[in-house]
Amino acid sequence: MSIYLDHNSSTAPHPEVVEAMREIYKKPYNNSATHHLGIQAESLVQKAIKSIQNLLNANNYQVIFTSGATESSNQVLFNCDADKIFNSAIEHACVYNCKVDGKKIYEFACDKNGVIDLADLEKKITNQHNFLTSAMLANNETGAIQPVAEISRITHKNLGLFFCDIVQGVGKIAVDLEELNVDFACLSAHKIYGPQGIGALLVRKGIELKPLIYGGKQQNSKRAGTQNIAAIVGFGLACDIASQRLQHFSQLANLRNYLEKSLKEIANDNLKIISENAPRLANTSFIALKNVDAQTQLINFDLNKICVSAGSACSSGTISQSRISQALGLEKHFLNSAIRVSLGFDNTKSDIEKFINVWYNFYQQKFNKK
């Protein structure tokens, strides 16, 4: 049996989520239909909306269901009422790579800990008009939690709009959209033990945002297409469970810290935990090993039936050097040598011990023969 340590990439839906979806699949639900199955379906959708609003303290936000966070963020970047976009250097590919016709894209930096540099942001947006700031709540690779409330404050002070990719924060830390004062937020179900293929875009009430996908009048004409009822129900349920398990999630830090401490004892200065000194998600560790290619490490873990990654899954195809590590200005010998471990609810201490063991053997091979 393999050990799965790649939960920031995707999580297995909770069994109760799968069960709920299985029941829905048996029924021909289309919430746009006017007969009573349509009405039942619509009430299920409304319930899921409530679950999302509750988890995020987002009663003042319109919830638009999309196919996932990529679509959500594209809708904001393409259609928000702004002609300039300021991205942080550590944004996810779906934000960072978004080339929008007619909008100018700028970048602001992060510091060595992988935390967004507020001074740089402020310098760049001061005296700008009609702009959007886009910054994530927690980084998918390093787990570094960003000063989003501050970013929001600085943005609004300069009369900009603020878009926050909260994908990696949801279900891992408490997220309060009112408090963070964001204008737009995107999230994804399959990162919080819900199904793949469903996500949401939250838009503060009163802000107009055109659709990206045109068609019927579903979702107040904000997103056309028959709604994915089963996945929406699964998503809502995953949110309910997430709000009950935040405390439980934070305890994953014990396993993560044990892991990091053990590796440091083995490798000392040959090892660097990226963003170690930043506030981090409890489950994430981005571990660089001096002058050892991440690819080589991954092959070794795979042979030993441990699933980790070198960073974001979607940018693979070819495994390129992590853009995030570059943004952090890592020393050259750590640059292409980091692997990401991201824990989930089902991981146990024995999983971590196995990981340490495999890592130790690998380390001996690489360093002690030199």
Partner 1 sequence: MTIKLPIYLDYQSTSPVDPRVVEAVSKSLQEDFGNPHSRTHSFGWSAEEKVEIARKQIADLINADPKEIFFTSGATESNNIAIKGVANFYKNSGKNHIITVATEHKCVLNSVRDLEQEGFTSSFLGVQKNGLIDLNQLESLITNKTCLVSIMAVNNEIGVIQPLKEIGQLCRKFGVFFHSDCAQAYGKISLDVNDLNLDLMSISGHKIYAPKGIGAIYVRRKPRVRIKSLFSGGGQERGIRCGTVPTSLALGLGLASEIAKNEMTKDHQHIKKLSDKFLKEILKLSHIYLNGDQTHRYCGNLNLSFAGVEGESLIMAIKDLAVSSGSACTSASLEPSYVLHALGVDDDLAHTSIRFGIGRFTTEEEIDYAINLINQKVNRLREMSPLWEMIQEGIDLKSIKWKTH
| Contact set for partner 1, span 302-331 (CB under 8 A) | 302, 305-310, 312-317, 319
Judged by CB under 8 A, the residue of 230, 252, 324, 327 near partner 1 is 230
User: Please, which of residues 91-150 interact with partner 1 by CB under 8 A?
Assistant: 92-94, 97-99
Which residue, 25 or 106, has its beta carbon nearer to partner 1? 25
User: Please, which of residues 332-361 interact with partner 1 by CB under 8 A?
Assistant: none
Which residue, 206 or 317, has its beta carbon nearer to partner 1? 317
In the complex, minimum distance from the CB of residue 80 to partner 1, in angstroms, rounded to a whole number: 14
**Among 8-16, 126-134, 155-163, 345-353, which window interacts with partner 1 (CB under 8 A)?**
8-16
Q: How many residues bind partner 1 (CB under 8 A)?
A: 78
6 near partner 1 (CB under 8 A): yes
Cα-based distances in Å from 38 to 23, 48, 329: 16, 16, 54
Give the β-pairing of 61-66 and 199-204: antiparallel
Which residue, 57 or 67, has its beta carbon nearer to partner 1? 67
In the complex, minimum distance from the CB of residue 97 to partner 1, in angstroms, rounded to a whole number: 5
Judged by CB under 8 A, the residue of 44, 51, 53, 68 near partner 1 is 68
**Among 20-28, 146-154, 174-182, 271-279, which window interacts with partner 1 (CB under 8 A)?**
20-28
User: Please, which of residues 21-40 interact with partner 1 by CB under 8 A?
Assistant: 21-22, 25-30, 32-38
User: Please, which of residues 174-213 interact with partner 1 by CB under 8 A?
Assistant: 188, 190, 195-198, 212-213
In the complex, minimum distance from the CB of residue 131 to partner 1, in angstroms, rounded to a whole number: 19
Residues 6+ apart with CB under 8 A from 206: none
Which residue, 131 or 193, has its beta carbon nearer to partner 1? 193
Whether 272 contacts 292, CB under 8 Å: no
Rounded-to-integer distance, Cα 66 and Cα 227, Å = 9
For this structure, is 164 an active site residue? no
Rounded-to-integer distance, Cα 288 and Cα 114, Å = 14
**Among 110-118, 172-180, 200-208, 227-235, which window interacts with partner 1 (CB under 8 A)?**
227-235
Which residue, 115 or 231, has its beta carbon nearer to partner 1? 231
Nearest to 17 by CA among 346, 242, 345, 237: 237
Judged by CB under 8 A, the residue of 9, 133, 325, 342 near partner 1 is 9
Which residue, 119 or 314, has its beta carbon nearer to partner 1? 314
Catalytic residue, candidates 80, 110, 164, 314? 314
In the complex, minimum distance from the CB of residue 11 to partner 1, in angstroms, rounded to a whole number: 6
Q: What angle do CA 209, 203, 89 make, to 5 degrees?
A: 90
In the complex, minimum distance from the CB of residue 86 to partner 1, in angstroms, rounded to a whole number: 17
Reported as half-sphere exposure (CB side, CA atoms, 13 A), residue 172 has a value of 31
Place of tokens 């996945």: 231
In the complex, minimum distance from the CB of residue 278 to partner 1, in angstroms, rounded to a whole number: 24
Which residue, 25 or 130, has its beta carbon nearer to partner 1? 25
In the complex, minimum distance from the CB of residue 31 to partner 1, in angstroms, rounded to a whole number: 9
Residues 6+ apart with CB under 8 A from 315: 93, 323
In the complex, minimum distance from the CB of residue 276 to partner 1, in angstroms, rounded to a whole number: 22
Residues 6+ apart with CB under 8 A from 369: none
Which residue, 154 or 238, has its beta carbon nearer to partner 1? 238
Judged by CB under 8 A, the residue of 53, 74, 134, 146 near partner 1 is 74
Catalytic residue positions?
314
